[in-house]
Structure 1
Amino acid sequence: MKIKKILAGAVMMLAVLSVGCASKNTTSEKKHEIVIGVTSDQYNELFDKAVAPILKKDGYKIKRVNFSQFMQSNTALAEGTIDVNVAQHTAYMKIFNRDKKTDLVPLVTTPSVPCSLYSSKYRNKSDLKDGMTVGIPQDPSNAARAYAILADAGWIKVKSDVKRTELSKKDITSNPRHLEIKEMDSDTIPRVLSDLDFEVIPGSNVYSAKIQDKIHLIQQENLQKDLQIVAAVKKKNVNTDWAQAIKKAYQSKEFEDYMKKHNSDHQWVMPK
């Protein structure tokens, strides 16, 4: 009789422990804090103002980790020390994945500010003269955008069989105005405006350098799908509750209404 009671007690104890473990595992599966990698640009500001409030209503806490350079944010995302970042386009991500052997994927396409041709000295394309200097970004994805913009402006001709997102200096087939095209770090271009006649600058760099009032728009980018900004996550996290909550927030009516109210100057290009 004693043995039966002992066995019954042991079975009950195991059942309690089993339920407790199951409860613990279920709880741990639900993530309530989203860690976002932040750099100084308008995409993170848009997230803070229009997306974070929606996520907070859904019960999520937002933790921000600051990075001085975006590549650091991508490295942290790949390593899993942050959950998401919002400041890159798919073309850049593909190159990063290829070079770093990572598995980042786009979660949702967000509003984007185009990379465009500007000048702090001139106001029109007609001001172009032979031998002028044009500064453009040196990283491959943004350099490709710059060459496409210069081709759209009619200043150079490029190979027609090369994708616009893959253009490089070697794909220039004609430079009739003998332009001196200087590739440099995107962060450097706003600091050397006086040394350049024209410059191609990504929208995020214009914002972070606060040079909107110092430059004139010459030619706006024809934004390709691969160049639209995305929220990025690791591949394994795409279908998690928190990732889908971010996606839902960007695609919500509340977010759409915010953009209608705060995009009267059409600075933002909405997802296609």
Structure 2
Amino acid sequence: MKKWFLAIVLLSVVGALAACGGSSESNDKASAKSKEVKIGATAGPYSDMLKTAIVPGLEKKGYKVEIVEFSDYIQPDMALDNGDIQANLFQNSIYLKSFAKENNLKLSALISVPTAPMGLYSKKFKSLDEVKDGATVTLPNDPTNAARALNTLRDEGLITFNESADPITVSEKDIVENKKHLKFQPIEAGQLPRSVDSVDIAAVPGNFALAAKMSLLDALALENMLDPYRNIVAVKTENKDSQLAKDIKAVVESDDFEKVIDEQFEGFGKPNWMK
């Protein structure tokens, strides 16, 4: 009886130890799984920013990161909301708030990053001082980017706004002085790089300029970008305080991140928190 009793006790102990081992192994697998993340971006400079400036920092923290590239501005937020990706980088906070509201999504901005500014380009003039009276200016036909173009022209002293105008929503109707009698021609943002060949000045958003192999530093003037126009890393609102979110912020706020930006993203305007 004693032998049987001891055998039963021994089997129980071995079983308990095996269970503990299995539980530990299961926890290790779960922990490793939580370090596997997918981050979305549109193809171009912000996908490059992920590859060169953000992913390496996350990998040092033990993450295995897959970059998912999108070809439009709709799917990255839909994929974020349904959990197919854990973060994305392609939009500014104005677009995020508007899109999330229209589609009943609960997404939040995590941190802003250096962003390619809009530039005033010309093949007819070497400086804005040469701009002639009645010159034609192409600018984006969507309200948000049109406001950015008008703000840039204002900053360069070519136009003046009504004192009550909101820089975020300013439009042509807010112009009270147009010193050079500029003629504005709104067109699709994607067509702006090509318009440089046929008009006096083209206000080209940075992402479209880079996609067309234009150098930001060739612009006659670059936008003094307001922070709401800068691109942001977005996450689901419920994950805003997650460990992943904290680690992404830490990477973006690091000296290594800024070094890569300075070396590989010339002309990109830095958000106020970096200045």
Amino acid at match of 2:269: V
Determine the structure 2 residue equivalent to 1:115: 118
Q: Is the 8 A contact 2:92 2:229 kept in 1?
A: yes
Q: Is the 8 A contact 1:123 1:216 kept in 2?
A: no
- TM, length-normalised to structure 2: 0.80
Determine the structure 1 residue equivalent to 2:96: 93
Determine the structure 2 residue equivalent to 1:249: 251
Determine the structure 2 residue equivalent to 1:268: 268
Equivalent residue in structure 1 for 2:135, among 132, 135, 145: 132
SS in structure 2 at match of 1:108: strand
- TM, length-normalised to structure 1: 0.81
> Structure 2 unaligned runs (5+)?
1-7
Pair 1:79–1:40, CA change in 2 (3 A)? same
Pair 1:174–1:260, CA change in 2 (3 A)? closer
Pair 1:175–1:80, CA change in 2 (3 A)? farther
Q: Is the 8 A contact 1:136 1:189 kept in 2?
A: yes
Deviation at 1:49, TM superposition (A): 0.9
| Structure 1 residue 226 corresponds to structure 2 residue 228 | yes
Residue deviations 1:77-118 (CA, integer Å, cap 9, x gap):
334332222222223323333433333221112122222222
More displaced, 241-250 or 72-81?
A: 72-81
Equivalent residue in structure 2 for 1:197, among 187, 200, 205: 200
Identity across matched positions, percent: 31
**What is the correspondence of 1:16-55 to structure 2 with a 5 Å cutoff?**
27=30, 31-55=34-58
Pair 1:86–1:192, CA change in 2 (3 A)? same
Amino acid at match of 2:187: M
SS in structure 1 at match of 2:219: strand
> Structure 1 unaligned runs (5+)?
none
Q: Distance in 1 between matches of 2:81 and 2:144?
A: 19
**What is the correspondence of 1:60-209 to structure 2 with a 5 Å cutoff?**
60-209=63-212
Residue deviations 1:7-65 (CA, integer Å, cap 9, x gap):
xx9xx99xx69x959x6699279622221222222222122012111111222122222
Amino acid at match of 1:99: E
Pair 1:162–1:191, CA change in 2 (3 A)? same
Deviation at 1:199, TM superposition (A): 1.1
Amino acid at match of 2:234: A
Amino acid at match of 1:155: L
Alignment: residue pair count: 257
Pair 1:146–1:255, CA change in 2 (3 A)? same
Pair 1:216–1:29, CA change in 2 (3 A)? closer
SS in structure 2 at match of 1:163: coil
Q: Distance in 2 between matches of 1:126 and 1:85?
A: 40
User: Which has the greater radius of gyration?
Assistant: 2
More displaced, 254-263 or 161-170?
A: 254-263
Q: Distance in 1 between matches of 2:234 and 2:252?
A: 13
Q: Distance in 2 between matches of 1:76 and 1:201?
A: 29
Pair 1:29–1:172, CA change in 2 (3 A)? farther
The CA RMSD over aligned residues, in Å, is 3.1
| Structure 1 residue 210 corresponds to structure 2 residue 230 | no
Deviation at 1:247, TM superposition (A): 1.2
Q: Distance in 2 between matches of 1:261 and 1:176?
A: 38
Pair 1:154–1:254, CA change in 2 (3 A)? closer
